[in-house]
Amino acid sequence: MANELTMVTTENISVITQNAPQAYQNNKTSHDRCIEFGQSLLNRVRAEGMTDELDQEIATFIDRARKTVKKMNDGRAPITKLFDEFRKVFTTMENDVDVTKSGSIPALLQEERNKYARKKAAEEAARRAEEERKHLAEQARKKYRADLMDDYQRQFNTYVGQILNGLTQLNSSLSLDNWDAVTAEMKGVSDVLAPAWIESVYSSVLRPVNLTLEQQSEIRNSVAAELRPRFEEQFKWEVGEHKSQLLARLPSKKQELESAAKASAEEAARIQAEMQAREAAEAARQEQERREREEQERRMRETAGQIAEVGGLFDNAAVSVPSYQPKTSVKKKITPLNVEAFPVMFAFWWEEVGRKMTVEELSKQFKTIQTFCDKRANDKSSPVFLQDENIYYEDDIKAK
């Protein structure tokens, strides 16, 4: 670069300022004379038409015009060469610091930044993917746990309902004839939930695909351990309370049955109907209260699940704060994988742009292809002509 800079000197600039005016004047004189003589020949052609004699004169003029061009070029070459070299020096300096010029220091540094940006983008994408995977797995664990809690609770409620209904049915079936046997059966109904009951329950809740069998088993055991004491307490209270109420009413019920046995048939039927109606109403009331408690518990579990889900969204947002990322411009860039890609791209370009262009515009666009077709058509050993109704070959005749 230092050698190139030395050529932009006062001496070289002096050469240009001293010789350029004369070179310009000489070339202008040659230019004007050639144009003047050539114009006179052109006027004669337009006035008289071409003749053999005029054709020969024009051929002589064209030959002299070629020599004039060479003379003009030789006269200005030393000066324009310096201009070209000056321009090269300046453009070289500019290119050395131009980030768009391949090989320049800024361009090399920009490529390092591009590689670093791609690396950081890949790392960020991997980080986000891992966070998303963990978040989805955590959400799956929470949902699976909540679904298990609901499923076990429903099955427990069903089981308790069956025990309570069984006690109610035993009470309804009481008569003086079976009194001892049925009351003994009622008293024998335990208000203690079997410790292994929850382990014997089969849950139909499906395991999420992003949880392993080990994680599934761990969550099931955790849910069972949490619910077991609650279920045992609830079972003792609900079954024990219902059983105690029924047993407490047994003396009065026995008296009613004895009264009905001693009464007339009509009176016995009345007593029996009243007793059954009263017991049915009481059973319906208790069942309604139980269902309302279950529905309230279900709504509470559902609300807790929704709160946990919203909390999970905020937790995910909190851990998703990205690390430093360089400012980037991301654009899609088509990459042909093989030569078959180019007909596809051309078809797309043709449909979007090419078919709307004029013949002249397309000729400029495909100058290289058209030149290749001309070359094959003029191949003297094996000429090739394209056969198509949209193509015509004309003779391009030039005088030598």
Q: What tens digit of pLDDT does each residue of 355-372 get?
A: 999 999 999 999 999 999
Looking at the predicted structure, is the pLDDT value of residue 309 above 60?
no
**Full domain range(s) for residue 206:** 130-319
Looking at the predicted structure, is the pLDDT value of residue 213 above 50?
yes
Spatial distance between the Cα atoms of 287 and 161, rounded to a whole number of angstroms? 8
Q: What is the pLDDT of residues 184-210, one digit of tens each?
A: 999 999 999 988 898 888 888 888 888
Q: Are residues 315 and 355 in the same domain?
A: no
| Last residue within a domain, chosen from 51, 75, 96 | 96
In a domain, 124, yes or no: no
Q: Which DSSP string corresponds to 18-76?
A: HHHHHHHHHHHHHHHHHHHHHHHHHHHHHHH---HHHHHHHHHHHHHHHHHHHHHHHHH
Q: Are residues 228 and 364 in the same domain?
A: no
Q: Quick count: other Cβ atoms within 10 Å of Cβ 235?
A: 20
Looking at the predicted structure, is the pLDDT value of residue 228 above 50?
yes
In a domain, 101, yes or no: no
pTM value > 0.95:
no
In a domain, 218, yes or no: yes
Spatial distance between the Cα atoms of 316 and 310, rounded to a whole number of angstroms? 10
Looking at the predicted structure, is the pLDDT value of residue 11 above 80?
no
Q: Are residues 89 and 150 in the same domain?
A: no
Looking at the predicted structure, is the pLDDT value of residue 19 above 90?
no
Average pLDDT, the chain: 84
- For the purposes of burial, counting CB atoms within 10 Å of the CB of 318, is it exposed (0-12), middle (13-18) or buried (19 or more)? exposed
Nearest Cα residue to 384 out of 371, 397, 375, 396: 375
Q: What is the pLDDT of residues 38-58, one digit of tens each?
A: 999 999 999 999 999 999 999
| Last residue within a domain, chosen from 319, 335, 366 | 319
CB 148 within 8 A of CB 219: yes
Nearest Cα residue to 144 out of 50, 222, 57: 222
Count the domains in the chain. Answer: 3
Q: What is the pLDDT of residues 240-288, one digit of tens each?
A: 988 898 898 888 888 888 877 776 667 667 766 766 776 677 667 767 7
Q: Long-range contacts for 83-87 (Cβ within 8 Å, ≥24 apart)?
A: 83/16, 85/7, 86/7, 86/8
In a domain, 106, yes or no: no
pLDDT of residue 2: 45
- Per-residue pLDDT band for 316 (boundaries 50, 70, 90) equals low
Q: How far apart are the first and last CA of the chain?
A: 47
